[in-house]
Structure 1
Amino acid sequence: MKKLFFPAIFSLVIFQANAQNDSTTQNLDEIIIQENRIQTPFSKQSRNISVVTKPQLETTPARSLQEVLAFVPGVDVRQRGITGVQADIGIRGGSFNQTLMLLNGIKLTDPQSGHHMMNIPVPMINIDRVEVLKGPGSRIFGQNAYAGAVNVITELSDRRSLRVQGYGGDFGMKGINFAGSLPAGSLKQNLAVSYDESNGHWYNSDYKVSNIFYENGIAINEKHSLRGMIAYTDRSFGANGFYTSAFPDQWESIQTTVGALSHTFTQDRFKLNTRAYWRKNEDEYRLRRNEPEFYQNFHTSNTYALETNGTYQSKLGTTGFGLEAREEKIESTNLGNHDRTLAGVFLEHLVNLKGGFDVRAGIYSNYYNDYGWKHFPGMEVGFQATEKLRFYTGIGKSFRIPTYTDLYYQGPTNVGNPELKPEQAQNFEIGAKWNQSGLFAELVYFNRNTDDLIEWARPDEETPWQPQNFNEVKFNGIEASLAYRFANTPASVRIKEFQISYNYIDANLVNQPGTETRYALTALKNQVIGGALLGIGQKLEWNTKMRYVERVSQDPYFLLDMRIDYNRMGKVGFFAEASNITNTDYIESGTVQMPHRWFRAGFMLNLE
């Protein structure tokens, strides 16, 4: 049935192709990268940044943000189930705890465990774009932006609209998504709801995921505006071998709530944004799904934060400043009850010099009640050699603090270490960008030297894993990428977009004799990502994506995915997707087997 169903969908879509306006092109030069203080256009950034636009989100063969990020150069996505029901994100060889996730600049760091940082309570249908900052982000975003940061951006619209998307596929997969924009006078507001479920691709891998997301904003007058958000996600899933292969019947249920309120004051050359936000995460974990009495953990963590960030334009350039205060609490049957206080001060300055040079430098000073004050400076220098060619270089110091799981966990196969210190890194990168009429090319070299790396280790298989501070780890890497967005033509078959990238990372862990490590020696080593979006007629789009991934001490694998959209921007559209067309046998994390070839198909309604 499967062999007949998918080609039939493709044939139906191809047969019906006709006129539609091309909407895949989006000028990256016009995108302002949404950092919390100094914001500059993508083309003027002196850093390695990738932007995933809304058209790319919509045409990628993926059912989740986690799967979309797997096609971003330098990003290592390790899923333990389909559609990102549980996934870890690493950047430039970093671990899942060394990447900071943000939602409109709001930190989603989970003090319990980095495994929960991708519990983003926003349906993908409501995401406008995703900005991936590679390299040290502590000076920009604060703690835990160690190897990079991912900022998920949503936008408020002044037009009424309703989008509905439904789909079904292999493994009993089905889902429905609603996203509406409901402006009322000067009040803009978005509401999105989604539900996804599956029987799972192998034993004990079923899941149910629900999301609800509401945001609004209002301009009170020319100087003052308010923006608010409340979001909730509930995900329960069979966790076969997720955290240890010794127990295949694991199960987990996680509920995450995020709320935020911000005020922006703007006058002439001065801008100040103040916001308060709260994140709550509830986690129930069972080592045996149907025997909670055997081993069961309950964790509830709350994060409360207050931030203020400002910029001032003067003849000397742009000055950015900020203050933050955070309190992180946890109540846990396994980790115990703990709380900690963090505070930070940001100061940076951007100046444009003669001859095409610009310099941006600053410092982030962090207070952590267990360790006192630590300081993290950084600087970038850019040189606009021509209108099309830009060179850049930068240095920076980054850090992350241990999670409560790192410090206090007690289990049959994992034991925490309350003596852990924060890990720190010194970073350097140098690169060049070429941007001309839809063509974007970039080449960058980076280096990261880590002090006191937090790594789970053990002397032998009979001893539980325990995190340790390793003295020194060195990462060297090269990223080369090329993307081209073709101008719209009347040709019946045409290439609309093309991308290719290569990443190489050399991870040199100065290992301790007789010690086995869990994560450091599975870092990304070679990564090739490619893709081409074809237009057939005016209503049909065919996107092909490929990945070659090799990690240290693991077998490499190659994956090929495809998606076809018919009438994507019309009132009624259809799509079909295929993942792992090559039927590759592969593992992304631990011993969790990923699915072989699998299919989905669905519909879209766009109403205004």
Structure 2
Amino acid sequence: MSLALLGVFSNSTAQEKEIELDPITITASLTPVSASKTGRNILIIKGDALQKLPVQSIDELLRYVPGVEVQSRGPMGAQGDITIRGGTFQQVLVILDGIRLNDPLTGHFNSYIPISPAEIDRIEILKGASSAIYGTEAVGGVVHIISKTFAAKKQSNGHKINAQLTAGDYGLFNTQAGISMHQENTTASVGVLTNNAKGQPLRGTKGYFNLTTISASIKQQLNENTSVAYRFGYDDRAFNAQNFYTTFLSDSATEAVVSRWHHFKLQYQKNKHRFSFDAGYKQADDVYRFRKAVSPNVNNSSLFQSLAIHDYTINDKSSITSGVQFISRKITSNDRGNHEVSNAGAFVVLNQKIGENLQLNPALRVDWNERSGWEIIPQLNASYRMESILFRGSLGRTTRDADFTERFNNYQRNPVPSGQRIGNPDLTSETSFSYEFGADYFITPSFKLSTTWFERFQDDLIDYVTTPYATMPRQVNLTPGGTYLLTSNINKVNTTGIETDVQYTHQFTDDHSLAGGLGFIWMRSRSSDTVPSLYVSNHARELINFNVIYRYKKLGFSVNGLYKNRRAQPIASPFVPISKDYFLLSTRVDLFLLKNKLAVFVQVDNIFNKRYSDLLGSVMPQRWVMGGVKVNL
């Protein structure tokens, strides 16, 4: 269990409890429990991290989490693919306050999270197989964003206000702001995040982006046992998408994605019983234009889901959690057509303590998908505490069905030129078996070392494979003699890795703090196919993430960095080198003018001016200088 980014220290008083190295988590078992009792590798990120680290968006923050890889196409939230443990970007499940966000159209939109940073209490990252609880897509892991309002418990009346303004090179102007309040039985919050820039020069254009997220939520305690909550989110992203999806010189693409999010939650708790019911609805409108002379792809998707969970505490050593879930996905598209698919699942999880040191967490899910039928998904997690060392292990099965882009991309375009991605409606669902074992060594109350070995054995993994026209299963709208990227089931892919992370955090005095985290992961994937696929071959083989935050009196200093090494990408742009390896470093210096309430800062991203590309030919920004002011009241 790594918590390297929990190293974001508190700016309050030395009397506050130091950051725990074994916090309470809900993601691994849906029941509040110490992370050391889950048998899993879990990371916790505090919600105020975006105001303390040199990052401007949630996906940028995740880039520096040990064991998490973000393959970025654009800066500051324009687009980033989240991958964990060498999986593809569709194999990570993103959830907000307990229910899923993964877009029905494409996993490229999964990092478009409809909540402002001001509303985030914490982010829990669960690495490894998690389908027994969460169902499809929880293959490499789960990213769970938990809001302040939905997580709120009894607290004193009052309100908090925070704001941050940032300006810099290339017309950059960013805003973060939020207000939260608690009065008697009511908790509410609202926040906004905007990132805007004319952008660094690209090939014949500029990499502009205008990204806005607005969110609001309210929770009402009806009586001692019952509460209701509601959340609304609006997310609007318009950006230059040159070479986000192709390697063509003629690509001058732009894209705009607007999504709306509604979430209702009912909770009831009395004696040994706890019940919750969630209903969520997401709409997303996507307009992608390859260049001005070409008519745009217009895609509209919707996601409806309901989730009911019951938790029963048997005694002080045993509890059982059960739940049922229903999900409906739809799209209407001038490129992919109109489609709908539903699935449902039921699951049960047992939390059992044996003796004083052993914890077992078996889980079982029965899942039904309208396209692929029934699946049985088991999981077993275990942990054993021996003084300052915690041993943990897990094994389980996962499954994932293809999204609508993987099945139907470019099905209604005519003609489709060589080099494009083509969907495949005949795809079967992926399945995999994963296991892991590791240990956490609590060296001191402020210093922890973690290491984990993991393996994943995948059947029918879905990815894009280079395929000549002659062997394409459908040729009606293709160019004879061309070569395409066909979505295919790869027979077998085995991924092996080891991850190690170190965390240190210490509050010396009221205004003297040091915190930091370092993570290293080594991974190798072996495919049964002789032709390398796009995303499997692109994940990092070695990845190092680190961060350091130091505060002394009125001066604060923070630094983020990462080193990535991978195989050369099989599909490379002729005009932008695909970086086999690269090192990035960003830094930020804060000057506190009014203790913990008012500060000015200077930030430099990519301080060594590295030119690199994560995917295809999409160029990432080089050195970017910015500065600003932040207020906390």
Query: Does TM, scored on the shorter chain, surpass 0.5?
Result: yes
- Tell whether 2:623 aligns with 1:597: yes
Offset from partner CA, 1:484-538 (integer Å, 9 cap, x none): 1123247x8x6611222210001111223xx3421111121001122222222x2
| Whole-angstrom CA distance in 1 between matches of 2:184 and 2:363 | 41
Query: What is the aligned partner in structure 2 of residue 400 from structure 1?
Result: 400
Asked whether the 8 Å contact 1:191–1:215 carries over to 2, the reply is: yes
User: What is aligned with 1:239?
Assistant: 241
Contact conserved, 1:206 with 1:238, CA < 8 A, in 2? Answer: yes
8 Å CA contact retained: 1:330, 1:338? yes
Query: Which residue type is aligned with residue 564 of structure 2?
Result: V
Q: Which amino acid aligns with 2:348?
A: L
Could you list the per-position Cα deviations for residues 183-224 of structure 1 after superposition, in whole angstroms to 9, with x for gaps in the alignment? 344211101123221111233421111111011101111111
Separation (CA, whole Å) in 2 of partners of 1:30 and 1:446: 23
Does 2:140 match 1:140? no
Give the Cα separation in 2 of the matches to 1:68 and 1:353.
38
Partner deviation per Cα, 1:435-487 (whole Å, 9 max, x = no partner): 33121210100000000000101135931211110110000000011111123
Q: How does 1:348-387 map to 2 (within 5 A)?
A: 348-386=349-387
| Residues 224, 266 of structure 1: 8 Å contact kept | yes
Q: Tell me if the contact between 2:234 and 2:261 (Cα under 8 Å) persists in the aligned partners.
A: yes
CA distance in 2, matches of 1:351, 1:20: 38
* Local SS of the residue matching 1:26: coil
Matches of 2:238 and 2:40, distance apart in 1: 38
- SS at 1:405 equivalent: helix
- Counterpart CA distance in 1 for 2:609 and 2:555 is 26
Alignment pair present for 1:454 and 2:455: no
Give 1:485's aligned residue. 505
- C-alpha distance in 1 between matches for 2:28 and 2:178: 26
Deviation at 1:72, TM superposition (A): 0.6
- C-alpha distance 393-557 of structure 1, shift in aligned 2 (>3 A): same
- CA contact under 8 A between 1:37 and 1:321: conserved in structure 2? no
Tell me the equivalent position of 2:581: 556
Q: Does 1:517 align with 2:533?
A: yes
Please state how far the C-alpha of 1:76 moved relative to its aligned partner: 0.9
1:566 paired to 2:587: no
* Partner Cα distance (1:33, 1:313) in 2: 15
**Secondary structure of 1:488 counterpart:** strand
Name the SS of the counterpart of 1:486 in structure 2.
Answer: strand
Question: Tell me, what secondary structure is at the counterpart of 1:146?
Answer: coil
Residues 24 and 56 in structure 1, CA contact (< 8 A), matched pair in contact too? no
Amino acid at match of 2:580: D
Letter of the 1:478 partner, please give it: I
Q: How many residues align?
A: 580
Amino acid of the residue matched to residue 583 of structure 1?
A: N
Q: Structure 1 residue 358: deviation in Å?
A: 1.1
Q: Structure 1 residues 28 and 251 mapped into 2: Cα distance closer, same or farther (>3 Å)?
A: same
Which whole-Å CA distance do the structure 1 matches of 2:180 and 2:82 have between them? Answer: 30
1:221-236 matches, within 5 Å, as 221-236=223-238
Contact kept in structure 1, 2:26 and 2:32, CA below 8 Å = yes
Contact 1:574-1:604 within 8 A present in 2 as well: yes
Of 256, 259, 272, the match for 2:275: 272
Q: Deviations over 1:397-423 (max 9, x none)?
A: 111110100001115411110000111
Question: Which TM-score applies when normalising by structure 1?
Answer: 0.92
Q: 1:41 to 1:326 in 2, by over 3 A?
A: same
Partner Cα separation in structure 2 for residue 196 and residue 505 of structure 1: 34
Does the 8 Å contact 2:21/2:448 carry over to 1?
A: no
**Counterpart for residue 311 of structure 1:** 311
Match of 1:93 in 2: 86
Quick one: structure 1 residues 24 and 53, their matched pair in 2 at CA, closer, same or farther if it must change by over 3 Å? Answer: farther
In structure 2, what is the Cα distance between the partners aligned to 1:230 and 1:223?
Answer: 24
- Is 1:416 the equivalent of 2:432? no
- 3-state SS in 1 of match to 2:406: helix
> Are 2:77 and 2:211, in contact at CA under 8 Å, matched by a contact in 1?
no
Q: Distance in 2 between matches of 1:145 and 1:569?
A: 43
Aligned CA distance change for structure 1 residues 34 and 518 (closer, same or farther; 3 Å): closer
How far is 1:351 from its partner? 0.5
* 3-state SS in 2 of match to 1:241: coil
What 5-or-longer segments of structure 2 have no aligned partner?
1-10, 411-415, 469-480, 569-578
- 1:72 alignment partner, SS class: coil
Provide the rounded CA distance (Å) in 1 between the counterparts of 2:221 and 2:508.
37
Runs of 5+ unmatched residues, structure 1? 1-18
Match 1:431 to one of 430, 434, 438: 438
Describe the SS at the equivalent of 1:517: coil
Aligned-partner residue type, residue 481 of structure 1: D
Determine whether 1:532 maps to 2:548: yes
Is 1:496 aligned with 2:514? yes
1:26 correspondence with 2:26: no
Q: Secondary structure at the match of 2:383?
A: strand
**Identity over aligned residues, as a percent?**
26
SS of structure 2 residue aligned to 1:402: coil
Structure 2 match to 1:214: 216
What is the rounded CA distance, in whole Å, between the counterparts of 2:261 and 2:340 in structure 1?
19
* 40-49 or 423-432: bigger deviation: 40-49
1:113 Cα offset (Å): 0.4
Report the AA paired with residue 436 of structure 2: E
SS of aligned partner of 1:97: helix
2:117–2:191 contact (8 Å) kept in structure 1: no
What's the counterpart of residue 477 of structure 2?
none
TM-score, structure 2 length as denominator?
Answer: 0.88
Residues 171 and 265 of structure 1: CA distance in aligned 2, closer, same or farther (over 3 Å): same
Asked if the contact 1:209/1:236 (under 8 Å) is kept, the reply is: yes
Q: Distance in 2 between matches of 1:181 and 1:489?
A: 28
Q: CA deviation at 1:355?
A: 4.9
Provide the rounded CA distance (Å) in 2 between the counterparts of 1:590 and 1:129.
33
Distance 1:176 1:57 in 2: 12
Q: Counterparts of 1:43 and 1:238 in 2: how far apart (Å)?
A: 44
User: Structure 2: which amino acid aligns with 1:448?
Assistant: R
Deviations 1:52-75 (A, max 9, x none): 123544321100111110001111
Residue type of the alignment partner of 2:601: F
SS in 1 for 2:483: coil
- Please tell me the root mean square deviation across aligned C-alpha atoms, in Å: 1.9
Paired residues of 1:395 and 1:428 also in contact (CA < 8 A): yes
